[in-house]
A and B are shown apart, each in its own frame.
Chain A
Amino acid sequence: MIKAILIFNNHGKPRLIRFYQYFAEDMQQQIIRETFHLVSKRDDNVCNFLEGGSLIGGSDYKLIYRHYATLYFVFCVDSSESELGILDLIQVFVETLDKCFENVCELDLIFHMDKVHYILQEVVMGGMVLETNMNEITTQVDVQNRMEKSEGGLSAAPARAVSAVKNMNLPEIPRNINIGDINIKVPSLSPF
């Protein structure tokens, strides 16, 4: 079982924290600090598995981490998970983020923390691996995002207009106008 997923940057600032076991708030912050302390000491060419974190749980738990540019992705797992499998899972998760955000960088994670959570919910659920197929994950996330946008109502109209313009692709449109059918149907206008 995955006990916790932590993403923080090279200075220890948390970018995403998800605990699948209950910890009090101050305990959570302490765990983040301790994990950062353990992980930041590591050289880049040593192995990606760490033992010895005492706060998050004792001898059965390992920290499996990957360092990408400015971010550390740390999964805290117990012995029932395959270590190499989790390493691959981190890779899949990062590639999914890349697909969803288009060349993801740290700023995307900072400003869209809720979206990252929703993506993570499609990958890991209740501490267990749910889906590992990138296309499947991105499809589901897209559908859900569209559902949320369509509910926006009036207040979301400006945002929708902006995104519609962005999606418009102006150079393409003249080619698509079809004047083959000369019978243009005049719509019946209702009297005012």
Chain B
Amino acid sequence: MSPSVPLQEMIRAIRSARTQCEERGVIQRECAAIRAQFRQSDNGGRSHNLAKLLYVHMLGYPAHFGQMECVRMIASPRYSEKRVGYLGAMMLLDEKQDASLLITNSIKNDLSHSNQYVQSLALCTLACMGSAEMCRDLAPEIDRLLRASNSYIKKKAALCAVHIVRKVHDLGEMFAPAARSLLSEKNHGVLHGAVVLITEDTHIHTHILIFEIMKGLVISGYSPEHDVAGISDPFLQVRILRLLRILGHNNEAASDAMNDLLAQVATNTDSTKTVGNAVLYETVLTVLDIKSESGLRVLAVNILGRFLLNNDRNIRYIAMISLQKIVGTDHNAVQRHRGTIVDCLKDQDASVKRRALDLSLALVSASNIRSMMKELLIFLSSCPLELRSQAASGIFIAAERYAPSQRWHIDTILHVLTTAGGDVRDETVPNLIQLITNASELHCYTVHKLYRALLTDISQQSLVQVACWCIGEYGDLLLRGECQETEPVQVHEDDVLDALETVLQSHMSSPATRGFALTATMKLSTRITDNVDRIRSIVSIYGSCIDVELQQRAVEYNALFKKYDHMRYICFEYAGHCVLFRFRLSALLLCLFFPQVCDLLDLLGGSEETLQPSPAAGGTAPGLPANTASTAGGDLLDLLGGLEPFKLK
């Protein structure tokens, strides 16, 4: 058995290993030696072994066999062993393990030890990993220590009490009187602990004393040791401000009392350094969160505005976080800074961009929608990948709420689909289809635009799906060639069928997209005259496709061609309005073939479809006089066997 090697030598040995395998070998040997040493009863180098084990644990190797050793070392009378034992307990044990119960007694004894450093070790461990039972057992001890004479112990006991209150909320009452008396301490560490305890423990409210401390700090309290770059103890100031925020939060009286003090802090704090900014920032947050007077609120928002223009990115980042918190309540005040926020969208830093995006989306309103949307679309084309889907959905929501015109709305959605089509959510496609259907005067414009988009790029699935649907539905408008809103371009039937076939055959198309394309091809068979045979051949090819959905569909369409040719027009008049058509259309066809299957109607029961032919389609269906549509409609209803006609809205 090798003699126990002190920590540094082991570290040197591990570092000199050149490969991962060598390192693992060294560590395994060391762990074996350590395990053997643990089994021996008394050993001079016990603390070394545990320290080595903790190092190995940090590197990621298993160290659970050291748990009992920690328990033993904590019980040892020697300070060096206790120290390492407690450290080991904090790193290796947690309240879920049984070994942690064993140290409760040791902690209890150490809390009353004569040496304050041993007491502090026990307090530290209890605060890190004390379970609820341990906390309940030891709470009276902690309360006693809170009244003890030593400020070093008092501040640790205060934080330990915070942990206890977090674990067992009811024990907060026990600490209330001690905490109040701690507030009159001079030691800043103790004050800090006391403020944290009062913040955590809602049973105590002593705002008057807090003001005394606060005033002292700002006006005259210049204590050199706590000075960080000229501001007296900024950490304590920040804590106190946070506590003030909680006290004033729905409390008129407390907020009134705080107004002067907050104004004083806001004006007196030097904002040229980071620490000053930390205090100012906390003051601003407090002002905005309590029921402060309006002058003070304006001051606070102005400070935030100044932060936004600061060169330091950190300051800009936190300014945007706080503006986000108040954009709901003080919307106009934040709007004034819209320009700066929109500029932050172009910042290089991803964190700043994220905040700017959230804030910009919150600032969109009916009056600024056009300019904001321009900026947001520019942002979308260059934004980092992780923000894309958030940006896209934000843009959709904003567009839906404030769109000045339907054409603008459709344009915006198309733009988003072309730029970031892969990152939009699935319900975008049916929503867009619904939108297009409702904007009846724009069908011609929409189908032209989509056709052109389809020709450029077929990789964005959502865009391709919508484009196929539109071409299928309004193909006749496309082929007619003229359109008021875009330049006329002559589109031949062959071109359209080529485009759809490319989509069908491309390896980039998902099965859903292929389904859309196939249905569109089929629908075109009722809108075009010359190439019906071509359509028939395309559809029959897919009759033997591997994808079951496509195959089923192709077979049904083939059947329509062969046996039910007269029904073809009706199906593709009505089916055009199915939003979730993929599954509904098949159900519809099954209804045609098997009218007794009435429970299938339940499948169609929840839909939003209408069975009224759209004006465009009805008016221009080639070769189909209007009255045939209505008589054929009558046939359809007969086939359904006198049941309630569904969804004739």
Contacts and interface: CB of A to CB of B under 8 A. Distances in A.
A84 B242 CA distance: 14
Interface in B72-120: 78-80, 83-84, 87, 91, 94-96, 115, 117
Interface string A114-154: 10011001000111111111011000100110011001100
A178 interface: no
B479 interface: no
A14 B59 contact: yes
A100 interface: no
Interface stretch (B49-57, B256-264, B436-444): B49-57
Contacts, number: 155
A60 interface: no
B314 A151 contact: no
Nearest to B321: A83
Given A22-B95, A111-B11, A133-B189, A85 B234 contact: yes
A113 B160 contact: no
B561 interface: no
Question: Which 4 residue pairs spanning A and B have beta carbons closest together?
Answer: A126-B127, A84-B278, A47-B313, A46-B349
Given A16-B58, A82-B282, A88-B278, A126 B44 contact: no
A47 B79 CA distance: 43
Interface residues on A, range: 35 or more
Interface in B305-355: 312-314, 316-318, 321, 348-352, 354
Given A22-B95, A82-B282, A126-B163, A88 B274 contact: yes
Interface residues of B, number: 72
B644 interface: no
B611 to A, nearest CB: 46
B314 A85 contact: no
Contacts of B275: 84, 88
A148 to B, nearest CB: 4
A98 interface: no
B156 A130 contact: yes
A157 interface: no
Interface of A: 14, 16-18, 20, 22, 25-26, 28-29, 43, 45-52, 82-85, 87-89, 92, 110-111, 113-114, 117-118, 121, 125-133, 135-136, 140, 143-144, 147-148, 151-152, 155
Contact of B314 (A49, A135, A147): A49
Contacts of A132: 192, 226, 228, 233, 235
A126 B11 CA distance: 28
B485 to A, nearest CB: 42
Contacts of A46: 313, 348-352
A13 B238 CA distance: 34
Given A133-B189, A144-B117, A89 B235 contact: yes
Contact of B274 (A87, A110, A130): A87
Interface string B158-188: 0110110000000000000000000000001
A84 B314 CA distance: 8
Nearest to B276: A84
